[in-house]
């Protein structure tokens, strides 16, 4: 079984996918990779929610993986990469993974089946079948307010016990009690990373191994610094550092993500266009004004 080059821990960035005139913007993507490889992050997620993965076709996903790998090879630092996958048909997800076997990615972030709302036994068998078809590590993605179904802690523990390559979780359960219970009684070696940007500090305080944060496209070092201060045992300083940036997730999720992030990155010169793919829309003029004011503060 393949293992990640670094543990599934720390701050991971779910990278946006830049577009221009309806096409993948390779130039901006390379620029983003060079920029974030120099930031204190521990890994990248490609083609997931923030990367508008459901609007990306297979050829584009292959190009994204290749461009990211090449950009990192040109620099001094290689980050581990997980590819985001989603699907409601187990067979189709298995086939997708099979077609990515030679792609330059280290593993997968896979959300629970959406729309069909399977039972917990169905969820277990879905992920077990997928995990059995690859030697690469898999992180589960539990986000019931998008998929319509929750992966219970019992099901996650069953999967971790049955499938050695299911190594962790992006936790967007939006249920503080469930998240806390999993952190108290998680399987050995099973990593829990929060995906709730606004709950970043609290998740770390309660023992999460890290986070996958769209907001960390902005003020990346500050987000990483919160975790660093907690690791050093300075909780008061960590809380102060978090309070200083806590408004950013609220602002960046004031309208459907990743439109606000793309607007910011475009204004900062990191991508050539803030273009979104339908049905997603660019930010409204009112939010653009708020983002402009925030950029003046954070620049």
pLDDT at 75: 80
Residue span of the structural domain in which 207 resides: 10-238
Residue 252 located in a structural domain: no
State yes or no: is 141 an active-site residue. yes
Annotated active-site residue in 108, 141, 200, 263? 141
Residue 277 located in a structural domain: no
Residue 114 located in a structural domain: yes
Q: Count the domains in the chain.
A: 1
Averaged pLDDT for residues 161-187: 94
Residue 139 has pLDDT above 70, yes or no: yes
pLDDT at 296: 84
Residue 165 has pLDDT above 70, yes or no: yes
pLDDT at 7: 75
Annotated active-site residue in 36, 92, 108, 170? 170
Residue 178 has pLDDT above 90, yes or no: yes
Averaged pLDDT for residues 176-184: 93
pLDDT at 5: 59
Residue 280 located in a structural domain: no
Residue 271 located in a structural domain: no
Q: Is 217 exposed, middle or buried (0-12, 13-18, 19+ CB in 10 A)?
A: buried
Average pLDDT, the chain: 95
Angle at 145 between CA 142 and CA 150, to 5 degrees: 45
Residue 167 has pLDDT above 80, yes or no: yes
- Quick one: tokens of 54? 């459901």
pLDDT band at 298 (very low <50, low <70, confident <90, very high): confident
CATH number at residue 206: 3.20.20.70
Residue 246 has pLDDT above 60, yes or no: yes
Express each pLDDT in 20-67 by its tens digit.
Answer: 999 999 999 999 999 999 999 999 999 999 999 999 999 999 999 999
Residue 178 located in a structural domain: yes
pLDDT at 3: 61
Angle at 132 between CA 130 and CA 135, to 5 degrees: 100
State yes or no: is 170 an active-site residue. yes
pLDDT at 1: 53
Residue 80 has pLDDT above 70, yes or no: yes
pLDDT at 77: 82
Q: Is 197 exposed, middle or buried (0-12, 13-18, 19+ CB in 10 A)?
A: buried
pLDDT band at 76 (very low <50, low <70, confident <90, very high): low
């Amino acid at each position: 079984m393949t293992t990640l080059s670094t543990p599934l821990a720390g701050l991971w960035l779910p990278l946006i996918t830049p577009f221009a005139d309806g096409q993948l913007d390779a130039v901006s993507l390379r620029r983003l990779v060079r920029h974030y490889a120099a930031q204190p992050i521990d890994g990248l997620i490609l083609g997931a929610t923030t990367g508008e993965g459901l609007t990306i076709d297979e050829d584009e996903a292959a190009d994204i993986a290749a461009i990211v790998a090449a950009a990192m090879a040109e620099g001094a630092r290689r980050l581990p990469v997980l590819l985001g996958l989603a699907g409601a048909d187990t067979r189709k997800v298995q086939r997708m993974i099979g077609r990515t076997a030679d792609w330059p990615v280290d593993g997968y972030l896979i959300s629970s089946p959406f729309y069909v709302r399977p039972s917990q036994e169905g969820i277990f068998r879905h992920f077990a079948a997928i995990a059995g078809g690859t030697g690469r590590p898999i992180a589960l993605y539990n986000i019931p307010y998008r998929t319509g179904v929750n992966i219970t802690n019992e099901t996650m523990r069953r999967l971790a016990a049955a499938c050695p390559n299911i190594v962790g979780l992006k936790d967007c359960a939006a249920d503080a009690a469930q998240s806390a219970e999993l952190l108290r009684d998680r399987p050995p070696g099973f990593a829990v990373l929060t995906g709730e940007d606004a709950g970043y500090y609290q998740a770390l305080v309660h023992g999460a191994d890290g986070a996958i944060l769209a907001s960390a496209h902005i003020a990346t070092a500050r987000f990483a610094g919160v975790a660093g201060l907690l690791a050093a045992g300075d909780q008061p300083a960590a809380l102060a550092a978090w309070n200083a940036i806590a408004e950013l997730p609220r602002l960046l999720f004031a309208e459907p993500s990743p439109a606000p992030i793309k607007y910011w990155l475009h204004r900062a010169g990191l991508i050539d266009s803030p273009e979104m793919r339908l049905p997603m829309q660019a930010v409204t003029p009112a939010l653009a004004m708020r983002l402009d004011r925030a950029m003046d503060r954070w620049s």
